[in-house]
Amino acid sequence: QTVVTQEPSFSVSPGGTVTLTCGLSSGSVSTSYSPSWYQQTPGQAPRALIYSTNTRSSGVPDRFSGSILGNKAALTITGAQADDESDYYCVLYMGGGANWVFGGGTKLTVL
Amino acid sequence: EVQLVESGGGLVKPGGSLRLSCAASGFTFSTYSMNWVRQAPGKGLEWVSSISSSSSYIYYADSVKGRFTISRDNAKSSLYLQMNSLRAEDTAVYYCARGVGWPYYFDYWGQGTLVTVSS
């Protein structure tokens, strides 16, 4: 079974830039997987950030951007702020039986 | 304002059943797909099930196939998840989420309802 991989944790300095990635245990991520990204703070529901690889969800600041970098999907946060400290999840559409698979999430620390 | 409010969670014994509901408001419910995503305590998100706007297409994760049934009532702007043969590993917060486009992406989420399966 294919696993969606994310860095377990990452840290960034306030004002800095960080790129989180979303890969596959076997194979490369492409736009056909329609990667999307979600932000979740403790005790809260997830919030949609990016869909279809690089389209920002409504109300999401342009500090957040999505792309394909090499063989992975990527979420880049520029000008990191304290309230960006959250868990970030990617999800890939695996096709076939219409199967969406989430990555394990990346815990981002801003310090 | 889009609102999704889940209900129906609680404590249930292994092998038992539970029916979750999600009440939607602030948008034309009948024109959107709807989804259930769960999160076990301290763990990541897991997609559970999806249903198209007219219920024509229904999808399940392998982990719940044959045990869970998703349904909707467009007249009541409500989404449901009937969960049977519950196991300890089904313990999680269950979120309903609105789906947009194809493949669906989940643009709005409810606050979730906790299901605990324990004897």
The DSSP line for B25-60 is ESS-GGGSEEEEEEE-TTS-EEEEEEE-TTS--EEE
Is residue B90 left, alpha or beta, with left meaning phi > 0 and alpha meaning psi from -120 to 50?
Answer: alpha
DSSP 8-state secondary structure symbol assigned to residue A57: P
Phi, psi of B116 (to 5 degrees): -120, 120
- Please say whether the beta carbons of A35 and A66 come within 8 A: yes
- Please say whether the beta carbons of B67 and B61 come within 8 A: no
pLDDT band at B106 (very low <50, low <70, confident <90, very high): very high
- Please say whether the beta carbons of A98 and B59 come within 8 A: yes
B47:A97 CB<8 A: no
Say if strands B18-25 and B3-7 run parallel, antiparallel, or are unpaired.
antiparallel
CB atoms closer than 10 angstroms to residue A36? 30
pLDDT band at A62 (very low <50, low <70, confident <90, very high): very high
pLDDT at A93: 95
Residues 78-117 of B with CB under 8 A from A: 95, 97, 100-101, 103-112
pLDDT at A1: 76
pLDDT band at B85 (very low <50, low <70, confident <90, very high): very high
Question: What gap in Å lies between CA A46 and CA A106, rounded to an integer?
Answer: 13
Mean pLDDT for the stretch of residues A67-76: 97
A45:B109 CB<8 A: yes
Q: What percent of chain B has pLDDT over 90?
A: 97
How many residues are recorded in chain B? 119
A105:B61 CB<8 A: no
C-alpha closest to that of A82 among A108, A100, A102, A55: A108
| Mean of pLDDT over chain B | 97
Please, which residues bridge with residue A62 across strands? none
